[in-house]
Structure 1
Amino acid sequence: MTAWALSLVVISAFIHATWNFLAKKSSGGTAFVWLYMLVSAVIYSPLIVIVILWTDVRLGWLELGLIFASAVLHILYAVTLQKGYQIGDFSLIYPIARGIGPMLIAVTAFFLLGEELGQLGWIGILFIVFSVFIFTGGLRIIREKNVLPAILYGLLIGCMIAGYSLLDKYIVSVTIIHPVLLSYGSIVGQVILLTPFAKKHWQEVRHDWKQLKLETIGVGILNPLAYILILIAMVTTPVSYVSPVRELSILIGAILGVVFFKENFGRQRIIAATIMVIGVIAVAIS
């Protein structure tokens, strides 16, 4: 990975943890997702105009279909993420979701694509699994009913992260769709898909905009920015390198949850996040 790509991924990790922190703080649902997607579509519209004017944009049915598929995966991820944040701790769900994604990518590549993972890679996977065990508080999962749903949401979100990461890597590197165009097209697709829900729950939309305006604008700006930086890095860098390095956000997210939300098991979760980052890096090196 070049120094340029590495810097993009590290900056993205800080931005990603920040917008997830704002999303958790909002405690919003699907209406909140529609609002911040609409904000993103408006704010980034000048950027997409520049891309269209200064690059050779060619969109056929295949490209439009792939962008639509990306939008569907991203909207499932966004809605599920907000639901998870409504029922579970940020310092629990966020690290699990972000750690499981790269592991699934590595395992999928091993079994389906025949890529060698190596001994270090399997050790890294064991580190990730062990860190998840620490995140849950060990065997306390058996005693506390509210922990298991949060863990399941974290695992489900991690599966979605792996899914859209693999698809979007294919789109930007094989079909040569510009990263900004892919990101913006996905955002517009999500706004369109969620508009019927927004119209049906307009009072909820108005309430969220009135009460969560700062969080909405913050996520609307930072969410696409974090992913655009990742897509740019993935144009020339394998997803198996990019995905693990960006999970530096795991440790950042755990610290934010403990410091600002005063969530339980603070030191334990920071230690678990550190172990998970080591595991993810081991998978990447392998």
Structure 2
Amino acid sequence: MLSYTGGIVLFAAMLHASWNAMLHGNRDRFLSMTWMSIAIAAVATLVVLLHPLPSGGCWPYIVASGLVHIVYNMSLVRSYRRNDLALAYPIARGSSPLLVTLGAALFAHEAIGLLHALGIAMISGGIIAIALQGRRVSRAGALAALTTGATIALYTVIDGIGVRLSNGEALTYTAWMFLFYWLMPVLFVAKRGLAALWKPVRAEPLAVGSSLVGGLVSIAAYGIVIWALQSGAMGAVSALRETSVVFAVLIGRMFLRESVSGARWLACVVVAAGAVCLGL
């Protein structure tokens, strides 16, 4: 992977960790994810109105990815109900690069070099070590986080194939896929009612505002990843993105007052070393 692309994906990793921290930091994660989704879908709608349709070959992937993203959002909310950020986030993100590499090999016939394979393994191993160091993980909590990781891998492979069929139209591909985020407020209203969605606008405007900002950060972060998937190996892009876990540990320590052991810092170093392997 080119160093320029790698640097951009690392920036996306930092953005990704930031919006996850915003989500985890809010008391009502379902509500927060819904307002994030509204911001994402609104931006996507604007882009769709201003740009031509993407290539016809990518439409099945747009639909599939959009639906999987909704499942991912709900799974992430469930995962954060059971675990703190330093535990749930690494398990979810750490399980995905290896799954993405396998999926890319099976469905996109991607081959990967030994050094990059080592980097992917180091990043995934380091991430899982960050999550499990000194922690007992409940079966339900682990299952929720691993389900989230599986959906991450699924939509990454779908988008990796789909964006390559869009004839270089990564922006419109991303926007049409994110239109499906309008389903999140529909699901929220169906479960809790319209009043529960609008009442916090007056009662907790800062929480709603932070969720909207988180949505804008999220669309920027994953938009960069989709752009990188056009030319970069899916497993390598996925693994490099998951270095966001290191940023999540830092954010959890600095802003959410979560404890970080020496062993966990060492695992962060392993993740960083794996990222270096991907950049060589």
Short-chain TM bin: 0.7 to 0.9
| Paired residues of 2:66 and 2:181 also in contact (CA < 8 A) | yes
Question: Which residue number corresponds to residue 177 of structure 2?
Answer: 186
Q: Which moved more, 1:29-38 or 1:12-21?
A: 29-38
- In structure 2, do the counterparts of structure 1 residues 267 and 28 end up closer, same or farther at CA, with 3 Å as the change threshold? farther
Identity of aligned residues (%): 20
- In structure 2, do the counterparts of structure 1 residues 280 and 99 end up closer, same or farther at CA, with 3 Å as the change threshold? farther
Q: CA deviation at 1:109?
A: 4.6
Q: CA deviation at 1:185?
A: 1.8
Q: Which moved more, 1:76-85 or 1:148-157?
A: 148-157
Question: Which residue number corresponds to residue 217 of structure 1?
Answer: 212
Query: SS of the residue aligned with 2:258?
Result: coil
Out of 135, 147, 164, which is 1:156 matched to? 147
Q: What are the equivalent positions in structure 2 for 1:1-286 lying under 5 Å apart?
A: 1-52=1-52, 57-58=53-54, 60=56, 63-109=58-104, 113=109, 115=111, 118=114, 121=117, 125=121, 128-129=124-125, 132-133=128-129, 135-138=131-134, 140-141=135-136, 147-176=138-167, 178-192=169-183, 194-201=185-192, 202-209=194-201, 210-211=203-204, 212-279=207-274, 282=277, 284=278
| Paired residues of 1:28 and 1:208 also in contact (CA < 8 A) | no
- In structure 2, do the counterparts of structure 1 residues 197 and 172 end up closer, same or farther at CA, with 3 Å as the change threshold? same
TM-score, with length taken from structure 1: 0.81
Q: Which ranges of structure 2 fall in alignment gaps of 5 or more residues? A: none
Q: Which moved more, 1:15-24 or 1:86-95?
A: 86-95
Instruction: Provide runs of 4+ in structure 1 moved above 6 Å.
Output: none
| Paired residues of 2:40 and 2:216 also in contact (CA < 8 A) | yes
- In structure 2, do the counterparts of structure 1 residues 118 and 6 end up closer, same or farther at CA, with 3 Å as the change threshold? closer
| Paired residues of 2:130 and 2:268 also in contact (CA < 8 A) | no
| Paired residues of 1:39 and 1:220 also in contact (CA < 8 A) | yes
- In structure 2, do the counterparts of structure 1 residues 266 and 150 end up closer, same or farther at CA, with 3 Å as the change threshold? farther
Q: CA deviation at 1:228?
A: 0.8
Q: CA deviation at 1:27?
A: 3.4
| Paired residues of 2:91 and 2:142 also in contact (CA < 8 A) | yes
The one-letter amino acid paired with 1:128 is: S
Q: CA deviation at 1:78?
A: 1.2
Q: Which moved more, 1:268-277 or 1:84-93?
A: 268-277
Query: SS of the residue aligned with 1:220?
Result: helix
The one-letter amino acid paired with 1:28 is: D
Query: SS of the residue aligned with 1:236?
Result: coil
| Paired residues of 1:110 and 1:117 also in contact (CA < 8 A) | no
| Paired residues of 2:104 and 2:157 also in contact (CA < 8 A) | no
| Paired residues of 2:121 and 2:274 also in contact (CA < 8 A) | yes
- In structure 2, do the counterparts of structure 1 residues 121 and 239 end up closer, same or farther at CA, with 3 Å as the change threshold? closer
| Paired residues of 2:101 and 2:234 also in contact (CA < 8 A) | no
State the distance in 1 between where 2:80 and 2:211 align.
Answer: 15
Q: CA deviation at 1:258?
A: 1.8
